[in-house]
Amino acid sequence: MNGKKLLLLGGSPGSREIIQYAQSQGIHTIVTDWVAPEHSEAKKMADSYWMDSYTDYDKIERKCREEEVDAIITASSDYAIESMIELCDRLHLPCYCTKESFHYSKNKADFKEVCKKTGLNVPRDYLLTDALTEEELDQVEFPVVVKPVDQNDSIGISFCNNKEELINAYRKARSVSKNPKIIVEEKINGKEFVAYYALADGEVAFLFFHSLMAPKEFAVKSSFVASNVTPFAKDFMEQMNEKIICSLKEMGCKDNIAWVQVIMNQNGDFYAIEMGHRFGADIIPIEYSHVGEIDIVKWAVECAMGTKHLEKDLPSGLGHAIKRYIYSYELCCGREGVVKEILGKSELMNKNIDVKITVNIGEVVHPEMGMGCVGFCADSIDEICILIEEINQLLQINNSQGENMILQYMSAERFMKEEFSKAI
pLDDT value of residue 150? 84
pLDDT value of residue 282? 67
Interacting residues of 162 by C-beta distance below 8 A, sequence separation 6+: 142
CATH of the domain spanning 5-95, picked from 3.40.50.1260, 3.40.640.10, 3.60.21.10, 3.40.50.20: 3.40.50.20
pLDDT value of residue 290? 63
**Single-letter code of the amino acid located at 165:** E
The neighbouring-strand residues paired with 370 are 332
**Single-letter code of the amino acid located at 257:** I
Q: Are 182 and 173 in contact (CB under 8 A)?
A: yes
Class assignment of domain 124-186? alpha beta
pLDDT value of residue 101? 95
Query: Would you list the domain boundaries of the chain?
Result: 5-95, 124-186, 190-419
pLDDT value of residue 321? 58
Other C-beta atoms closer than 10 Å to the C-beta of 183 total 22
Q: Tell me which residue of 191, 267, 270, 204 sits closest to 237, measured CA to CA.
A: 270
CATH of the domain spanning 190-419, picked from 3.10.450.50, 3.40.50.300, 3.20.20.70, 3.30.470.20: 3.30.470.20
Pairing of strands 28-32, 48-50: parallel
**Single-letter code of the amino acid located at 251:** M
The phi, psi pair for 139, rounded to 5°, reads -75, -15
Distance CA 86, CA 73 (A): 12
For the chain (length 424 residues), average pLDDT per consecutive 10? 95 90 97 93 96 98 98 93 97 96 93 97 95 95 93 84 96 92 93 93 92 64 71 93 98 96 94 92 60 85 96 80 78 93 96 89 90 88 93 95 90 86 58
> Which helix or strand (DSSP H or E) is residue 135 part of?
helix 134-138
Q: Helix crossing, 108-118 with 242-250: angle to 10°?
A: 120
Q: Tell me which residue of 197, 202, 208 sits closest to 311, measured CA to CA.
A: 202
- Whether the model pTM is above 0.75: yes
